[in-house]
Amino acid sequence: MTSHPNPLARLNGNKGQKRFFAFGEDFSPFGNSVVSPTLTAAFWMVGSISSFSAMAVAGRELSGVYDTFEIMMYRSAVGVLVVMTLAFATGAWRQINTRDLGLQIGRNLAHFTGQNLWFYAVTMIPLAQVFALEFTSPLWVIVLSPLILGEKLTKIRALAAIMGFVGILIVARPTVAGINAGVVTAASSAIFFALTIMLTKRLTRTQTITTILFYLTVTQLFFGLVMAGYDGDIALPAGQHGLLLLVIGIAGLVAHYCLTTALSIAPATVVVPIDFIRLPVIAIIGMLVYAEALDVWVFVGAAIIFAGNYINIWFETHKQA
């Protein structure tokens, strides 16, 4: 995910590589005023939280017309247009290369799978429950990184992972009758997002953000076309649906860019608590838009998941200091 514990912090934090967008961590919404990194990072996190929430609502609205493969196909198509337009406008297209192609495909297959599971989950269970389970991704990184990255599983990391799994049980609250399919898919999406994070960490050692985003959008467009069109029936966008698909495509890119930029400005110990605001925000949206009940146990479980994440980040940060 290394000076920041979160590997996403590296994507835009490398001063040596050409920036993909016209502005980033050096851009301040407050002009030339002297503003703390925390406040600037908080501004970027508002964009991230808003975009993730918009993507969840748009995905649920479209679920009655499009399957998850079609949603991912159109999201990726929008992404290709945006990425290539910016790449050619900035000259960053010259950075695109075919090195690490197998790793790129593996990473994007993991992300494609996780995102499909996530879109399915937002149609099955309350939005707050989806987001709470999604927050376990960093904890899955702790569990899987010794196998994939060869990193050491310390006592603190083990404690953080255990706390995360306790939080999952509280959020999911399995019964004798079984676990809701939406809970299973939401939790599974977090595992695939964790795989994506770890493979991203490996790619950022040799690849630029331009190359990573290019292959992300192009390969996922291919995966989407294959999975959505295998039966010869792809629903075409029309009217309001086209607008919502556009929202998903743009919001997905904006959300991750804002999050990455925030992590490049302020420590993860600052950004992660701000990102956690996504949970009450989406819970309120779910209550107002879909009449979803505010489940106190979702917040209790999410708080334990957050605590596990924060403990790990705090110790990792102070270990490197």
Domain assignment present for 276: yes
Region 90-98: mean pLDDT is 91
Q: Check residue 104 and give its pLDDT.
A: 94
Joined together, the tokens standing for residue 14 give 């490398």
Which residue would you say has higher pLDDT here, 34 or 266? 266
Q: Check residue 319 and give its pLDDT.
A: 73
Q: Check residue 81 and give its pLDDT.
A: 95
Residue 165 clears pLDDT 80, i.e. is over it: yes
Q: Check residue 8 and give its pLDDT.
A: 38
Contact 259, 48 (CB under 8 A): yes
**To the nearest whole percent, how much of the chain has pLDDT over 90?**
55
Residue 231 clears pLDDT 80, i.e. is over it: yes
pLDDT tier, 145 (very low <50, low <70, confident <90, very high otherwise): confident
* Residue 174 DSSP one-character state: -
Within a 10 A sphere around the Cβ of 81, how many other Cβ atoms?
13
Question: Picking from 11-25, 183-197, 219-233, which range would have the lowest pLDDT averaged per residue?
Answer: 11-25
Residue 6 clears pLDDT 60, i.e. is over it: no
pLDDT tier, 75 (very low <50, low <70, confident <90, very high otherwise): very high
Which residue would you say has higher pLDDT here, 320 or 158? 158
Residue 117 clears pLDDT 50, i.e. is over it: yes
Q: How far apart are CA 173 and CA 160, in angstroms?
A: 20
Residue 137 clears pLDDT 60, i.e. is over it: yes
Residue 4 clears pLDDT 90, i.e. is over it: no
CA 200 to chain centre: 12
Q: Check residue 20 and give its pLDDT.
A: 42
pLDDT tier, 177 (very low <50, low <70, confident <90, very high otherwise): low
Q: Check residue 149 and give its pLDDT.
A: 80
Residue 2 clears pLDDT 70, i.e. is over it: no
pTM of the model: 0.83
Q: Check residue 16 and give its pLDDT.
A: 37
Joined together, the tokens standing for residue 104 give 């790129």
Domain assignment present for 266: yes
**To the nearest whole percent, how much of the chain has pLDDT over 70?**
87
Domain assignment present for 24: no
Q: Check residue 66 and give its pLDDT.
A: 94
Q: Check residue 183 and give its pLDDT.
A: 92
pLDDT digits (tens, 9 = 90+) for 263-295: 888 887 788 888 889 999 999 999 999 999 989
Question: Picking from 87-101, 167-181, 186-200, 225-239, which range would have the lowest pLDDT averaged per residue?
Answer: 167-181
Q: Rounded to the nearest 10 degrees, what angle do helices 181-203 and 137-148 cross at?
A: 50
Does an H or E element contain 277, and which?
Answer: none
**Number of domains, the chain:** 1
Domain assignment present for 200: yes
Q: Rounded to the nearest 10 degrees, what angle do helices 181-203 and 155-172 cross at?
A: 150
Domain assignment present for 28: no
Q: How far apart are CA 84 and CA 91, in angstroms?
A: 10
CA within 13 Å, CB half, 164? 26
Region 33-60: mean pLDDT is 89
Quote the domain boundaries for residue 115: 7-11+35-320
Domain assignment present for 19: no
Joined together, the tokens standing for residue 284 give 């309120």
Q: How far apart are CA 41 and CA 47, in angstroms?
A: 10
Domain assignment present for 16: no
Region 91-108: mean pLDDT is 93
Q: Check residue 17 and give its pLDDT.
A: 38
Q: How far apart are CA 272 and CA 83, in angstroms?
A: 27
Residue 26 clears pLDDT 60, i.e. is over it: no
Which residue would you say has higher pLDDT here, 188 or 151? 188
pLDDT tier, 23 (very low <50, low <70, confident <90, very high otherwise): very low
Domain assignment present for 56: yes
Residue 175 β-bridge partners: 178
